[in-house]
Amino acid sequence: MNWNIVEGKWREITGAVKEKWGDLTDDEILQVDGKRERLEGLLKQKYGLTQEAAAEQIDRWADKLKDVIRA
């Protein structure tokens, strides 16, 4: 999915973020503000992921959002 769509609808999909990555706090999710790089960094920090693993998780998650988000 085009990340610009995710970024634009970030506040609408924070629940989906929380569902996928439950260790993230509401404040952390809001601070990400739809910025992919921020989300990657947060996943690396909170879950001990590598850059590649964080990016892969985000890609798979974003692909599943196609069914949820109507652009």
* Mean pLDDT for the chain overall: 93
Looking at residue 66, its pLDDT comes to: 78
Residue 33, CA distances (Å) to 14, 46, 67 in order = 9, 17, 21
Superfamily for domain range 3-67: YjbJ (1.10.1470.10)
pTM value is 0.90
**Phi-psi sector, 2: left (phi>0), alpha (psi -120 to 50), beta:** beta
Domain boundaries, the chain: 3-67
Residues of the chain whose pLDDT is less than 70?
70-71
